[in-house]
Structures are given as C-alpha cells and as structure tokens.
Amino acid sequence: MHVAIPLYPRFTALDAVGPYTVLAYAPGVTVTFVAAEPGPVTDDRGTLTLTATAGYADLPRPDAIVVPGGAGTFDALDDQALVDWIRTAHEGAEWTTSVCTGSLLLGAAGLLKGLKATTHWAVLDHLATYGAEPVRERTVVEGRIVTAAGVSAGIDMALTLLARTADEETARAVQLVIEYDPRPPFEMDLAMADRALALLA
C-alpha cells in the first residue's frame, strides 16, 4: 500500500508524523510526503521542517491519502492545486483520511457531503459548511473516508486504518511497538477553550 501525506505551509507536525509513524512500521506500506513541489515544508510552530520527496504530479493515484491539519489549513483551502489533488487522488484511492482540520480540506474537495465527519473541537461546526454532519468522536469511518479529531487522534485513525487494510493483529503489533497506551494526566476540559486557543495564536 502506498500512502501519500500532503504537506502545506503551517501544517501541524503530529497530524502528519503520528500517522506516518504508525503506517511506516507496517509491513508492505510505503509512505511518501508530497507537496506542490518536492522540498522542505515548515510546520505551524515555524520550527520543524519536513521534506516532501514528491510533487502532486509524481503521485497522482496513491492507495491511501492522509491529509493533516494545522494553523495553515484555512489558507490551504484556497490552494487549488492541493484541493484538486485531493479530489483526483480520492477517485482512485482505497482510503482517504484526514487528521484535525485536514477534514476541512476533504470538505473543500467535495468529499464529505452527506457524511458524518469529525475534526478539532475548535472548528467542528465548520464541517457543516461542506454538507457534512459534524460529530464529536475520536475517529469516524464513513465508507472509504476516515476523519480523525484533533492532532493526537491521527494515531488512533492510522491504527484504525491499518486494522482495516491489513488486519487487527498487525495494528495491535504496531500499537505495541510504538507503546501507544494513552493515559493523559488531565481530563479534557472544554471550559479552558479560550486559554487553549490562545496557545495557537
């Protein structure tokens, strides 16, 4: 299985690297970072750069797509080359997935109409703009489209995808390899939303 992860300016690193780590450990899976042109792309903290080793034209028909989110997503919604690539790649892909606000890019490509979908809690209502039904769940599977909630949920999404593309035993083995056993020290508290959003400014 060949998985493509498109990068764009100010993506969130874990949105891309979390699924990459899960899928890259799986036998028979190749993961390629793509962008409009091969080269470095910097994340939304401005301190981490990943290298896209292929352009969109180099990988028009991957087996699976993982679209990350990030602070740059709203600018990326106007990136016609990216949105067109997502739409076209989806036509031949077995799976089209997103992490966090990456689901808005799926929506912009016209892929979420009439489907349940999720994204980061701060922008969940935006999904309705694209004809989707927003749901507050960690991972949502609708046919061959899988959306994940914010940032760290990309790991859950990738394990879910791996269980479906390979088998549950493989997914469990990768989960053990990366020692993914989340036990956050604090409960999620949406009452702190304003303070949390200030961190993104």
For range 2-26, the mean pLDDT? 98
Domains and CATH numbers, the chain: 2-198 (3.40.50.880)
**Selection from 39, 67, 83, 85 nearest residue 157 by Cα:** 67
Q: Tell me, what's the pLDDT at 95?
A: 98
Dihedral over Cα of 5, 124, 43, 175: its sign? negative
**Residue 152 and residue 121: Cα distance in Å, rounded?**
13
**Residue 150 and residue 69: Cα distance in Å, rounded?**
8
Q: What is the Rg, in whole angstroms, of the alpha carbon atoms belonging to the chain?
A: 16
How would residue 201 be classed by pLDDT, with cut points 50, 70 and 90?
A: confident
How many Cα atoms sit within 13 Å of 161 on the Cβ side?
A: 32
Q: Please, is 66 exposed, middle or buried when counting C-beta atoms within 10 Å of its C-beta (0-12, 13-18, 19+)?
A: buried
* Per-residue pLDDT tens digits for 126-139: 999 999 999 999 99
How would residue 200 be classed by pLDDT, with cut points 50, 70 and 90?
A: confident
**Selection from 149, 135, 47, 45 nearest residue 97 by Cα:** 149
Catalytically active residues are: 100
Q: Which two tokens stand for residue 72?
A: 């740059």
* Per-residue pLDDT tens digits for 71-125: 999 999 999 999 999 999 999 999 999 999 999 999 999 999 999 999 999 999 9
Whether the Cβ atoms of residue 82 and residue 101 lie closer than 8 Å to each other:
no
Dihedral over Cα of 174, 17, 151, 59: its sign? negative
* Per-residue pLDDT tens digits for 154-170: 999 999 999 999 999 99
For range 31-53, the mean pLDDT? 97
